[in-house]
Amino acid sequence: MIPTHWFLILSAILFTIGVCGVLTRRNGITIFMCIELMVNAVNLTFVAYARQFHQIHGLLFVFFVMAIAAAEAAVGLAIFISLFHHRHTIDVDEANLMRW
């Protein structure tokens, strides 16, 4: 049986990689993928604690977070497609959304 703190360490590493990716990248899709990595790290934490305490509440919360993340991915990719259509780039430094 794998101890819970190993899952928490893995979750912290994944979250740190996601934060570093958001802070250092300029490509919009890469930033979006790093945000999704951070969401998955939080979900791993919820699953680890649900497993440790034998509760289903964490698993239900993960289910709703995954459903919202799927909707977020659809809306985010639609925004990037629109941005690329109008600006011919998805570089976040080049995107000025107030002026089309």
Over the stretch 47-83, which tens digit does the pLDDT of each residue have?
Answer: 999 999 999 999 999 999 999 999 999 998 898 888 8
What is the CATH architecture of 4-87? Orthogonal Bundle (1.10)
Tally the C-alpha atoms within 13 A of residue 72's C-alpha that lie toward its C-beta: 12
pLDDT tier at 99, thresholds 50, 70, 90: low
Please name which of 32, 43, 40 lies closest in space to residue 75, comparing C-alpha atoms.
32
Look at residue 98 in the predicted model and tell me its pLDDT.
56
Give me the DSSP letters along 34-58. HHHHHHHHHHHHHHHHHHHHT-SHH
